Structure 1
């Protein structure tokens, strides 16, 4: 019950309030969703990725093992979604939207505080979650954008140009290089980075709220719930199977399984809005999966005690 109450009070309710504020602001002022989306892609997201990677302490062994887990997990979930997409007979942008809603999950502003709650501020488990966050920041900005543009039959040259303009793909190696070489960031530069990264969560959630407030709610319940089941129930079950397959035990196994249990990422909404690819479906999935996660994440936390 303590986990349930904490997740409700410190994750779901604050997220819901911020989303509601975005919806209210749209109703009052008709905010421009495209401008908000570009702010997230080109300013807020790169800032928080740099800050978290630059300030982290990650060993090479943990980095490689976590990356191996992530790639196996990503491939397994991708294959699972492809089977579902073919069975359901999705076409066009819906294929990409469903896929993104499952393989991109909220590894930053939801998973990091959750990790630190469950493992009581443990630096080791935090480093694992930061690696997952790094990959979940990189993939939407590369593969995610490629897949959306490919579904719209965009030229390869145009897709590559779009991807190469995104700051986050340069920020990740720069952050690792500066941390590895112990290169200090000048105070006048680091202060704005802190300001911008601190605004990431609020801006991303308000963007989601603006999208929810601007759309006509024609809820496709079966598709939204299918995505929720794949992300919130099948996702952690697949993660558990992979840690068993890899022979990972103890607190690392628990941290990896927990990282798979979080709701759909805001990145899926930002991509959908930026490239006009099923934004209503994507917004509804993020909102509903965040609400339902209070129950599913609590269940995963309970079951984690059986992972030794």
Structure 2
């Protein structure tokens, strides 16, 4: 119990405090979530992704293993979501909302600070989380946009929307500049550093502001779907990650060490990403359902994330 409380106090509560500050600020001042979202979406998020990929040494071995884990994990998670959707007979646009609420998890403004707290800012585990964040930033801006629009927009319009997302350019540029060791002039590197350093605090405050604008109601007509989505995200996610890591550890070519295994499992335990809400609002596809999942999963994650770290440590 002492270890559990220590993890809760040192790893999870600091994140909760920042989120609570965002909720409080929104309740007092009614902050504009759209402005904050645009700052995160078009400035801070691309900046931190580029900066982390540019400055973090990621070996080819780590890259291949993390990507293999991610693709197998996401495939299994997608399969679980599809089974749930089909068993419940989920209709039309609601299917896309359910998929996004489970498949898109908060690997950036929740996952990065959680990784730094749980692993004491270890550069090795950070590189693992950066790669997960990279993929989780790329997928909502490509597949996620397609997923919520496929039933109502033409392919050409969807493609134009996807190509307007800054993250899809920040990722290859970060890798390219790091690989070629392209020097960035101080006039650009200094503001880039400011933007990257502002990411965690601003993102957690933004998450709090978003949650502060959502009212959780257990009388919501789709509450059963909300609870199932939260269960798949917070419990199914870590269990599937554990299974994938176990399979990889028994195979010589893909074998992962214990530290990478723990980082991958922790990365899969975080709550639903705000991306699911932003996509739902932007494209008018079940925004109430998406908001309920984000709020409830963030609340329940205080207990579930603490439990995941606890079991990994013992």
Give the TM-score of the pair, scaled to structure 2.
0.88
What secondary structure, in the 3-state scheme, does the structure 2 residue paired with 1:183 have? coil
Take 1:214 and 1:296, find their aligned partners in 2: how far apart are those partners? 23
Shift of 1:118: 2.4
Report if aligned partners of 2:74, 2:103 keep a CA contact under 8 Å in 1: yes
CA deviation map 1:103-132 (0-9, x unaligned): 111112222222222222322111111111
Match in the other structure for 1:11: 15
CA deviation map 1:222-241 (0-9, x unaligned): 22221211111111000000
1:69 aligns with 2:73: no
Match in the other structure for 1:298: 306
Match in the other structure for 2:101: 101
Take 1:287 and 1:176, find their aligned partners in 2: how far apart are those partners? 34
List gaps (5 residues or longer) in structure 2: 250-255
Match in the other structure for 1:289: 297
Take 1:121 and 1:60, find their aligned partners in 2: how far apart are those partners? 21
1:195-274 superposed matches below 5 A? 195-205=194-204, 207-208=206-207, 211-212=210-211, 219=218, 220=220, 221-247=223-249, 248-274=256-282
Report if aligned partners of 1:52, 1:130 keep a CA contact under 8 Å in 2: yes
1:6-85 superposed matches below 5 A? 6-26=10-30, 31=32, 33-85=33-85
Extract structure 1 runs of 4+ deviating beyond 4 A.
33-36, 201-219
Take 1:105 and 1:216, find their aligned partners in 2: how far apart are those partners? 21
Take 1:232 and 1:216, find their aligned partners in 2: how far apart are those partners? 20
CA deviation map 1:82-102 (0-9, x unaligned): 111111222233211111111
Match in the other structure for 2:141: 141
Report if aligned partners of 1:18, 1:202 keep a CA contact under 8 Å in 2: no
Report if aligned partners of 2:12, 2:302 keep a CA contact under 8 Å in 1: yes
Judged with a 3 Å threshold, the aligned counterparts in structure 2 of structure 1 residues 64 and 223 are, in CA distance, closer, same or farther, namely same
Query: How many residue pairs are counted as aligned between the two chains?
Result: 301
Of stretches 203-212 and 3-12 in structure 1, the one that deviates more from structure 2 is 203-212
Judged with a 3 Å threshold, the aligned counterparts in structure 2 of structure 1 residues 235 and 22 are, in CA distance, closer, same or farther, namely same
CA RMSD of aligned residues (A): 2.2
Judged with a 3 Å threshold, the aligned counterparts in structure 2 of structure 1 residues 5 and 214 are, in CA distance, closer, same or farther, namely closer
Match in the other structure for 2:163: 164
Judged with a 3 Å threshold, the aligned counterparts in structure 2 of structure 1 residues 207 and 116 are, in CA distance, closer, same or farther, namely closer
Report if aligned partners of 2:26, 2:213 keep a CA contact under 8 Å in 1: no
Shift of 1:200: 3.6
Report if aligned partners of 1:101, 1:227 keep a CA contact under 8 Å in 2: yes
Match in the other structure for 1:117: 117
Judged with a 3 Å threshold, the aligned counterparts in structure 2 of structure 1 residues 206 and 189 are, in CA distance, closer, same or farther, namely same
Judged with a 3 Å threshold, the aligned counterparts in structure 2 of structure 1 residues 115 and 36 are, in CA distance, closer, same or farther, namely closer
List gaps (5 residues or longer) in structure 1: none
1:192 aligns with 2:197: no
Take 2:212 and 2:23, find their aligned partners in 1: how far apart are those partners? 9
Take 1:156 and 1:256, find their aligned partners in 2: how far apart are those partners? 34
Take 1:138 and 1:52, find their aligned partners in 2: how far apart are those partners? 15
